[in-house]
């Protein structure tokens, strides 16, 4: 026999609007994501958040130590997360009192340095539940990737793909044209996961097209002109020079995430690798590849496309991938009729965020990745952005939430939040780390099943490790809120 409470829950689920059921489904998924990962049952769990969570679901099976920001902590063995929690509910006044009592003492932790801000918002109602310096501008570090990702999704949609093409350059020449996909790879496919564009497959298709024309000899040029202006930040172990043509994020080792030595000329290196692949396929390439533009109406010989933008956003946020974040900003510029430059990307991202009705008074976008200390954001802006991404009326933005690392289990939070920490598995958040700057912004599922968006920003912190632990305690306190 089904208990009366159980019958009520069945009736509620059956009669609830579809949008509300999907929101609750996302909330429940957040609570059990860690359990699914720990038990190895990810493959059987079905699509997460209506199918949007494909990329992280696969990565969870094979995840190793990750982190684009150099986080460090002792490894931990994942433990079972709390059971599935109840339905998402709007805030109650008592939550304010409980949050204030829990968060105010934690915000006084000296590990956060002299400057800190906080904002907590009830996702279902939009009600602000807690604020401390919430409208003050701070350097957000990598939490600015939330803004970059949201702007790109708003501009292009989650199914958009970035193409890399080969066109006829005339006069016995072909041109490799970069579309701005930093995940284009020269490596063989390895295991399950998002299917990135393959330079090898592009070479296969190009060789076939040339041979169909009766051509077995060609010169090769490369065109990276889709992006303009300074390459910004590079060369840098955290980010390659920003280019519309590169392979494997310009990495000079076999890594796929985190800091690594990078090439100083990503476009030329990509062209040289492509030329070598063509030669392996029986096409004689004359000399070394040269830089040269492709005509707008040039005949296309071959093309490959990136994984959908939703997957790129998830990878950006889960691993704090700076290269993809910078590409997302420039893709937003292109979609908005702006030059794909530092300035054009900043304007395009800012305009997209403003159109969402977010509090922009303290916001300044200087880059896509958060490596630039000129970036500015308020805690209120970040919390409101996360709440907006959960709005059933904004389904395009959902990958901003599904890409958030799961506390204690994935991405840059994989080695944070210990076995007995309240926020383990129920907190999902984007981390931010620069010298003297530590930030955390994400969502927390409370014991009653309410989804809260939060942002904590700290500047002039004396120790990255100490500040991260203090931020994790704040997020855990949000996840422990009772009403």
Catalytic positions: 142, 145, 320
Residue 176 token pair: 């490799």
The three-class DSSP label of residue 18 is helix
Q: Which helix (H) or strand (E) holds 456?
A: strand 451-459
Whole-angstrom CA distances from 23 to 112, 172, 289, 452, 482 are 33, 56, 51, 13, 20
In angstroms, the CA 48 to CA 43 distance is 11
Burial of 224 (0-12, 13-18, 19+ CB in 10 A): buried
| Rounded (5°) CA angle 438-180-401 | 40
In angstroms, the CA 284 to CA 238 distance is 36
Residue 219 token pair: 């010169």
- According to DSSP, the residues that pair with 295 across neighbouring strands are none
371 touches 282 (CB < 8 A):
no
352 touches 155 (CB < 8 A):
yes
Choose among 270, 384, 262, 405: nearest CA to 326.
262
Residue 83 token pair: 């059971």
Q: Which residues contact 106 (CB under 8 A, 6 or more apart)?
A: 470, 473, 474, 477
Give the position of tokens 């298709």. Answer: 205
In 97-162 the beta strands, taken as DSSP E runs, fall at 115-122, 128-132
Question: Residue 172 has what DSSP assignment?
Answer: T
**Torsion angles phi and psi, residue 117, rounded to 5:** -145, 155
In angstroms, the CA 247 to CA 184 distance is 5
Per DSSP, the residues of 291-340 read E----TTPPEEEEEEPSPHHHHHHHHHHHT-HHHHHHHHHHHHHHTTS-S
Choose among 315, 278, 247: nearest CA to 67.
315
Choose among 116, 110, 124, 105: nearest CA to 379.
116
Choose among 414, 59, 435, 376: nearest CA to 238.
435
């Amino acid at each position: 026999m089904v208990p009366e409470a159980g019958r009520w829950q069945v009736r509620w689920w059956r009669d609830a609007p579809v949008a509300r059921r999907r929101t609750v489904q996302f909330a429940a998924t957040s609570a059990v994501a860690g359990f699914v990962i720990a038990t190895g049952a990810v493959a059987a769990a079905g699509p997460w958040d209506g199918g949007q969570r494909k990329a992280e679901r696969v990565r969870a099976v094979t995840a190793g130590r990750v982190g684009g920001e150099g986080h460090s902590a002792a490894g931990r063995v994942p433990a079972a997360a709390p059971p599935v929690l109840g339905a998402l509910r709007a805030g109650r006044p008592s939550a304010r009192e409980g949050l204030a009592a829990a968060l105010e003492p934690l915000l006084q932790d000296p590990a956060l340095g002299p400057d800190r801000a906080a904002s907590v918002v009830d996702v279902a109602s939009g009600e602000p539940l807690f604020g401390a310096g919430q409208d003050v501008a701070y350097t957000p570090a990598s939490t600015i990737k939330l803004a970059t990702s949201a702007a790109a999704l708003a501009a292009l949609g989650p199914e958009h793909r970035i193409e890399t093409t080969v066109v006829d350059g005339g006069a016995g020449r072909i041109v490799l044209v970069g579309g701005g996909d930093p995940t284009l790879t020269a490596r063989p496919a390895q295991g399950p996961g998002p299917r990135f564009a393959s330079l090898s497959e592009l070479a296969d298709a190009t060789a076939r097209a040339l041979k169909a024309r009766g051509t077995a000899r060609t010169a090769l040029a490369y065109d990276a002109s889709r992006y303009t202006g300074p390459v910004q930040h590079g060369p840098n172990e955290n980010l390659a020079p920003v280019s519309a043509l590169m392979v494997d994020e310009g990495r000079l080792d076999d890594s796929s995430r985190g800091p690594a030595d990078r090439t100083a000329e990503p476009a030329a290196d990509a062209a040289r690798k492509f030329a070598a692949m063509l030669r392996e396929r029986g096409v004689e390439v004359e000399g070394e590849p040269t830089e040269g533009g492709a005509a707008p109406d040039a005949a296309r010989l071959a093309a490959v496309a990136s994984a959908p933008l939703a997957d790129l956003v998830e990878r950006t946020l889960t691993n704090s991938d700076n290269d993809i974040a910078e590409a997302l900003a420039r893709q937003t510029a292109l979609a908005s009729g702006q030059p794909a430059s530092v300035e054009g990307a900043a304007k395009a991202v800012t305009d997209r965020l403003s159109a969402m009705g977010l509090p922009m008074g303290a916001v300044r976008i200087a880059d896509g990745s958060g490596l630039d200390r000129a970036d500015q954001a308020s805690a209120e802006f970040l919390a409101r952005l996360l709440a907006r991404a959960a709005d059933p009326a904004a389904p395009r933005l959902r990958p901003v939430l599904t890409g958030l690392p799961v506390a204690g289990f994935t991405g840059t939070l994989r080695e944070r939040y210990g076995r007995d920490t309240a926020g383990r598995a129920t907190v999902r958040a984007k981390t931010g780390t620069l010298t003297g700057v530590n930030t955390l912004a994400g969502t927390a599922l409370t014991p009653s099943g309410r989804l809260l968006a939060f942002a904590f920003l700290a500047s002039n912190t004396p120790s990255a490790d100490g500040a991260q632990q203090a931020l994790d305690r704040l997020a855990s306190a949000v996840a422990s809120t009772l009403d």
